[in-house]
Amino acid sequence: KPANILLVEKTSPRIADFAISRWVDNERITENPIGAIEYMAPEALEGYVSQAIDVWALGAIFYELLTREPLYSRAIWASPTALMREICDLSKAVPYDLPNNIPPEIRNIIYKTLEKNPKLRYSSALKMRLAFEQAINQQIIISTQIDTPSLTKSTLPNTSYPSNTNNSPNNGLQNKFLLPTIENEKNIELSDTGKITRRATILLLIIILIPGLSIISYLYLFSYQEINLPLLPTLSPPKELMVKTAPSGMILIPAGRFLMGTDNLAISEFYERPEHEINIEAFYLDLTEVTNQDFLAFLKANPNNPLLNRWKNWAVKETEKDHPITNVTVQEADAYANWLGKRLPTEEEWEYAARGNNTEKIKYLYPWGDNAKESYKYANSQETGKNRPVKVGSYLGKSPFAILDLAGNVAEWTASCHKTNNLGQSNKPSDCSSNERIFRGGSYHDSVEYIRTIRRFWLGQLSSTARRQEILRSIGFRCAQDWPSSKEKP
């Protein structure tokens, strides 16, 4: 908990938690347990201890730093016991309320640290730290350096430069992460030796690993540092500052590697094997499937496209405007994506977005994990009994990257062509017919076995034209985009 983090100038932070050396009685559990109720993971409150409870606590502290409000506040609960029940109830969502200016890359990390199911959190502090480093590094790209002339000591103006002004080179990052009321000053003093001593409040996320015990996090570190710098008459901003954030409605999927497919004969077909490692470059992916309303805008913008003639009299019901578009051919999906300067995801990208880095014990056979029980809570499949598409984002089954609806609702076209197995498939649409294009995810009329992340489908599997047309009515799509986009490449 925050009260146990001691920030001491000129030294590293210290952790003070003497409670771990005491016997815990019932009164202490209800009034002030180790770590405090507000920062304890559900399983910790039930007596289960693992590294995952520290990841939760770290996420709760980081959430409070970003929002200035605790994730769970005792003030709104009648008793500590009532608060504990709320945290431990897995059917109740975690009450996040992050500011809108938090980048989606950071938002996704917070969501993952605060999963009530410990298997869905980061498995270690190291993996969480790497995720933060990658997210922050991808946020800012400075394309040119500042040219600064050197001056003698006698010509240095008697001026200080606050680091939170608009001229600060890091102002864009500060605006995203620093709270408006936090003082963030940089005082520069000139010593007789010509060295500059700088006292700064630095934006950091530092994770301290205590072997076999716990982790702790803090964002604001006071530090002193002696540096040899040329003396500057003014502090100029960089010539160009590009802040890279995800396009609207899309999530950045970071580069990484994962195990594609499976070797489990009991749950797979031969064309879904073998399990093999794939490296994926960073890319953007739509948070949800393309909706009827989205596709209607595309049709209105392209009234003379002969490819779209069959849609001329199509209209959207008001109650279904946020439902996913269906009955769309892969050529029409390609055309929509091209219209927006996007593309369809490859099969490898799609599976990576659905499974994340699954090289550990958890394989992510479903976007939410490996457990198919109560799948009706997580995906619109046959088990829900709806037998139709529903509004996008209606179900809880988000992937490790917080992408929604990758299982069920409607199946999704990809850019990849079918091969006899899942190795070395072509990702060039021109290399195969529409009947050989892969679609993924299963749909509302598929049972839970067929909405697994490893499942591969193509229309050529079906024996009749009538059956293909029937399945087409349950296929939609979502778009991907390269990172960085072609317009921003040097």
**Rounded to 5 degrees, what angle do the CA atoms 372, 378, 379 make?**
95
Is residue 407 domain-shared with residue 446, that is, in the same domain?
yes
> Which of 52-66, 236-250, 308-322 has the least mean pLDDT?
236-250
Q: Given a cut of 60, is residue 188 above it in pLDDT?
A: no
> Band of the pLDDT at 265, cuts 50, 70, 90?
very high
The pLDDT of residue 13 is 66
pTM score: 0.55
Mean pLDDT of 189-204: 37
Token code pair at residue 348: 């490898």
pLDDT at 262 over 50: yes
- How confident is residue 173, by pLDDT bands cut at 50, 70 and 90? very low
- The Cα–Cα gap between 477 and 434 comes to 14
User: Is there a single domain that holds both residue 434 and residue 392?
Assistant: yes
Residue 147, token pair as written in the block: 């040219």
Indicate the residue among 139, 156, 183 that finishes a domain.
139
User: At what angle are helices 51-67 and 104-113 packed, to 10 degrees?
Assistant: 140
Q: Looking at residues 77-90, what average pLDDT do you find?
A: 78
pLDDT score recorded for residue 9: 60
Say how many domains are in the chain.
Answer: 3
Please say if the pLDDT value at position 205 is more than 70: no
Structure confidence at residue 350 (pLDDT): 98
- Residues 326 and 370 both lie in one domain: yes
Structure confidence at residue 382 (pLDDT): 93
Show which of 122, 139, 156 is a domain's final residue.
139
Q: Is residue 36's pLDDT more than 60?
A: yes
Residues 463, 473, 299, CA angle at the centre, nearest 5°?
130
Q: What percent of the chain clears pLDDT 90, i.e. is strictly above it?
A: 37
The count of other CB atoms within 10 Å of the CB of residue 471 is: 17
Highest mean pLDDT among 17-26, 103-112, 119-128, 440-449: 440-449
Contact 442, 211 (CB under 8 A): no
How far is residue 437's CA from residue 247's CA, in Å, rounded to a whole number?
27
Residue 188, beta-bridge partner list: 198
Residues 221 and 258 in one domain: no
Total number of residues shown for the chain: 490
Helix (H) / strand (E) containing 45? helix 42-45
| 202 Cβ contact partners less than 8 Å away, ≥ 6 residues apart | 220, 221, 223
- Does 345 or 126 have the greater pLDDT score? 345
- pLDDT-derived band at 116 (thresholds 50, 70, 90) equals confident
Beta partners for residue 242, in sequence order: 141
Q: Are residues 286 and 155 both part of a single domain?
A: no
Q: Provide the CATH number for the domain around residue 110.
A: 1.10.510.10
Q: Mark whether 264 and 180 lie in a shared domain.
A: no
Owning domain of residue 376: 250-488
The CATH number of whichever domain residue 268 belongs to comes to: 3.90.1580.10
Estimate to the nearest angstrom the gap between the alpha carbon of 46 and the chain centroid: 28
> Judging by beta carbons within 10 Å of its beta carbon (0-12, 13-18, 19+), is residue 99 exposed, middle or buried?
exposed
Lowest mean pLDDT among 9-13, 121-125, 395-399: 9-13
* Residue 356: how many other CB atoms lie within 10 Å: 22
Give φ, ψ of 369 to 5 degrees: 145, -150
Distance from first CA to last CA of the chain, Å, rounded?
44
pLDDT of amino acid 444: 97
Look at residue 221 and tell me whether its pLDDT is greater than 60. Answer: no
The winner for highest mean pLDDT among 73-77, 185-189, 326-330, 484-488 is 326-330
- State the Cα–Cα distance between residues 23 and 54, nearest whole angstrom: 20
pLDDT, tens digit, for every residue of 38-56? 888 888 887 777 778 888 8
Q: What angle do CA 149, 199, 210 make, to 5 degrees?
A: 125
- Report for 192-201, 232-241, 373-382, 414-423: range of highest mean pLDDT: 373-382
What confidence tier does 296 reach under pLDDT thresholds 50, 70, 90? very high
Model confidence pLDDT, tens digit, residues 325-359 = 999 999 999 999 999 999 999 999 999 999 998 76
Q: Out of 94, 115, 139, pick the residue that ends a domain.
A: 139
Q: Is the pLDDT of residue 180 over 60?
A: no
How far apart CA 39 and CA 419 sit, in angstroms, is: 49
pLDDT at 323: 98
Residue that has been written with the tokens 């077909």 in this structure: 269
pLDDT of residue 1: 65
CA–CA separation, 142 vs 32, rounded Å?
Answer: 46
* Strands, E assignment, 116-211: 140-142, 186-190, 196-209
Residue 352 confidence (pLDDT):
96
* pLDDT tens profile 392-423: 999 989 999 999 999 999 999 999 998 766 66
Alpha-carbon Rg for the chain, nearest whole angstrom, is 26
Q: Are 339 and 333 in contact (CB under 8 A)?
A: no
Contacts of 343 (CB under 8 A, 6+ apart): 334, 337, 415, 479, 480, 481, 482
The rounded distance, in Å, linking the Cα atoms of 437 and 431 is 10
463 and 482, same domain (yes or no): yes
Query: What is the percent of the chain where pLDDT is above 70?
Result: 66
Answer yes or no: do 455 and 317 share one domain.
yes
- Residues 341, 208 share a domain: no
Q: Could you tell me if 196 and 221 are in contact, meaning their C-beta atoms sit under 8 angstroms apart?
A: no
pLDDT band at 452 (very low <50, low <70, confident <90, very high): very high
Q: Are residues 148 and 28 in the same domain?
A: no
Report the distance separating Cα 224 and Cα 326, nearest Å. Answer: 60
Least confident range from 116-130, 219-233, 440-454: namely 219-233
> Can you point out the beta strands (E) in 33-155?
140-142
Do residues 277 and 345 share a domain? yes
Q: Based on the fold, state whether residues 323 and 239 are members of the same structural domain.
A: no
- Locate 402 and state its tokens: 């917080």
Distance CA 109, CA 106 (A): 5
CA dist., res. 15 & res. 3, Å (int):
9
Mean pLDDT over the full length of the chain: 74
Q: Strand, helix or coil at 58? A: helix
pLDDT for the residue 233: 43
Q: Bridge partners of 437?
A: 417
Describe the chain by its helix, strand, coil percentages, rounded to 5: 35, 20, 50
Report the alpha-carbon distance of residue 291 to residue 137 in Å, rounded: 32
